[in-house]
Amino acid sequence: MDVLIDIFGSANFWAAAVRIATPLIFGVLGALICERAGVLNLGIEGIFVAGAMAGWIAVYLGAGLWGGVLIAALAGAMFGLLHAVLTVILGLSQHVSGIGITLLATSLSYFTYRTALPSVTSPPRITPFQPISIPGLSDLPFIGPALFAQTPMTWLALVLVAVLAFVLYRTPLGLAIRAVGDNPASVEAQGLSVQGLRVGAVVAGSALMAVGGAFLTLSAFDAFFFGMVNGRGWICIALVVFASWQPGKALLGALLFGAFDAFQIRLQAEIGQIVPGQVFLMLPYLLSILALVVVARRADYPRALLQPWFKGQRH
């Protein structure tokens, strides 16, 4: 019991929870945009890797940190465009294309990293984003470190949640994106391009996923490691179901997940002598599976998810 009080009472814990949640927020929002438009993007895992690598190498070669984020977003958008051409324009299997994008983005990132830095024993480092500390606010209990000891990328993620919620629910564009994933025929009847909207959503969503990857190398750590994404992309795909495709719930899901992950790391430090470390490392994946199973029955999938649309088709 004391252990729990120690953990939840520490400011570090809340700061870590938000920090762990940040890449997931980007990833879940990205997956959410794609799926709201009717396209499952299993390329997410590879796009995370590509974003992490591209952003890092841009900064390593002299770009600014925000320049790195932009390069990462562009890399993600490029893979998103490829996924969109295959699944939206050609109407091919979204599952297989997504797996293909993940394999391609991952191997291309690893190949590029190896080629650019052929013989390094320890990965070179960059100076990452630093936490913005706001005098006064940073000293507030709990909220202070959780919110005001974070880097600008976390703030970007939080702002994006609000922006995306506004766009989805308060603008004609958002209405069109939601409709194109639910009932593409109605969108076409409005004279809008189903395929255009879907391609745009997948490209934008993939750019966000890549920014989530870039957070890992430009904010959470200061170097690129092989295998550093480690299933975060797949976790986002589970979280988006858990969040029933709503930006607010996506934020909540990512934060809950971050809190849980931060908790297991600390619990490991406390009782790691008795229980093998791998048990703790398994917990995030098992939690994602559990979340998926629990919400699956009442999950309200976008009705046209996985279904290609050809212009002028009769349904």
Partner 1 sequence: MSFRLEPRANPSLALKLAVSLVAGLVALLLVAIPVLFAGGNPFSAYGLIIQGAFGSMFAFSETLNRATPLILTGLAAAVAFRARLWNIGAEGQLYIGALAAVLVGSGLFAMPPMLLIPTVMIAGFLAGGLMMVIPTMLKQRFGADEVVITLLLNFVVILFVQMLIEGPLKDPLSMGWPQSVPLLAEAKFDKLVPRLRMHWGLIVGLAAALLLWLMVRKTVLGFEIKAVGENRAAARFAGIPVNATMLKVALISGGLAGLAGVGEVAGVKGYLSADLSPGFGYSGIVVAMLAGLSPIGTVFAALFVAAMFVGADSMSRATGISNYLADLVVALSLLCVLVGGFFLRFRVRYERRPALAEGR
What span, in angstroms and rounded, lies between the C-alpha atoms of 230 and 232? 6
Interface with partner 1 includes 202 (CB under 8 A)? no
Q: Of 41, 195, 246, 288, which lies in the binding site for partner 1, with binding defined by CB under 8 A?
A: 288
Q: How far is CA 7 from the centre of its chain?
A: 26
Residue closer to partner 1, measured from CB, 221 or 285: 285
Contact 232, 23 (CB under 8 A): yes
> Does 101 contact partner 1 by CB under 8 A?
yes
Burial of 136 (0-12, 13-18, 19+ CB in 10 A): exposed
Q: Residue 133 is which amino acid?
A: S
The amino acid that residue 160 corresponds to is: L
Binding window for partner 1 (CB under 8 A); candidates: 58-66, 87-95, 121-129, 209-217: 87-95
Q: Does 96 bind partner 1 (CB under 8 A)?
A: yes
Q: Is there binding between residue 313 and partner 1 (CB under 8 A)? A: no
Counting contacts by CB under 8 A, is residue 162 touching partner 1?
no
> Residue 10 or residue 193: which is nearer to partner 1 going by CB?
193
Instruction: Give the C-alpha distances (Å, rounded to integers) separating 228 from 7, 144, 188, 210.
Output: 26, 29, 42, 14
Which contacts (CB < 8 Å, 24+ apart) does range 85-93 have? 85/199, 87/39, 87/202, 87/308, 88/39, 88/195, 88/198, 88/199, 88/202, 88/308, 88/309, 89/195, 89/199, 91/308, 91/309, 91/310, 92/308
58 is an interface residue for partner 1 by CB under 8 A = no
- On the CB side of 216, CA atoms within 13 Å amount to 26
- Asked if 80 is part of the footprint of partner 1 (rule: CB under 8 A), the reply reads no
Which one among 7, 60, 74, 93 touches partner 1, defined by CB under 8 A? 93
290 contact partners, CB below 8 Å, separation of at least 6: none
Nearer to partner 1, 10 or 112 (CB): 112
Range in contact with partner 1 (rule: CB under 8 A) among 49-57, 64-72, 101-109, 253-261: 101-109
Cβ count within 10 A of residue 315: 9
Binders in 105-144 for partner 1, by CB under 8 A: 106-108, 110-112, 114-115, 118
Closest CA to 207 of 24, 294, 78: 78
Nearer to partner 1 by Cβ, of 128 and 205: the residue is 205
3-class DSSP state of 252 = helix
Residue 189 as a binder of partner 1 (CB under 8 A): the answer is no
Q: Which is nearer to partner 1, 45 or 146 (CB)?
A: 45
Of 214, 241, 243, 259, the one binding partner 1 (CB under 8 A) is: 241
Q: Which of residues 251-270 bind partner 1 (CB under 8 A)?
A: none
Tell the smallest beta-carbon distance from residue 185 to partner 1 (Å): 19
Q: Which residues bind partner 1 (CB under 8 A)?
A: 42, 82, 86, 90-93, 95-97, 99-101, 103-104, 106-108, 110-112, 114-115, 118, 230-231, 234-235, 237-238, 241, 276, 278-279, 281-282, 285-286, 288-289, 292-294, 296-297, 299
